[in-house]
Amino acid sequence: MVDNRESGQQGHNNRGPNEGNRLQGNPPPDDDAQRRVAEYAAALTVAVTQLQNGPKEFRDANKRQADLDGWKLYNIGYFQPDLDQAYGSSDMVVLGKDVYWRSVYLFIDAVRDAKTNDTKKDMIAKNFSQLLRGEAQAWWHCSRLKCNASKESGATKLSGECI
């Protein structure tokens, strides 16, 4: 409601959409100004959406974190075929919170069971050597050295002692 004291009437403001701007000293918006405002609004909408969703690498990182859901690489256990018999003679030995596998078949089953999604598969593949202990770890590093030396020399057979 507008108080029209001069006329003594109260009523609605019947001014057009541009009259208020002219009365306040602002020119009416032209088509170009309206187009720019629409472009700014669209750009702001895109910016807000990107901020809410985050850049692709952040969304990917969030997905990887959700895929892991508290899972850690060491949940698989460690492969150590030469684990001292003093810890038990079983193919699987639990020491504290860690599991040690003597049987390569059981260890591989544990690895396969852990690969429930691509994130875990990637994590296992990139950090596989961290799951090896004792002779298995020595073999892994030695065989990788031989493989690298063979590639460098052009040899096709792996032979000889650990380099």
**Closest residue by Cα to residue 27 from 17, 16, 18, 39:** 18
22 or 138: which leads in pLDDT: 138
Q: Tell me, what amino acid is at 47?
A: A
Residue 44 confidence (pLDDT): 74
pLDDT, tens only, 35-81: 777 777 777 777 666 666 666 666 677 777 777 888 888 999 999 99
- The angle at the Cα of 22, spanning 32 to 8, to the nearest 5 degrees, equals 145
**Two tokens, residue 113:** 């069971």
Task: List C-alpha distances in Å: 92 to 71, 99, 108.
Answer: 20, 7, 12
pLDDT grade, residue 163 (50/70/90)?
A: very low
**Two tokens, residue 30:** 């032209």
Residue 156 confidence (pLDDT): 45
Tell me phi and psi for residue 37, to 5 degrees. -65, -40
Residue 160 confidence (pLDDT): 45
pLDDT, tens only, 82-138: 999 999 999 999 999 999 999 999 999 999 999 888 888 999 999 999 999 999 998
Q: What is the mean pLDDT of residues 5-11?
A: 52
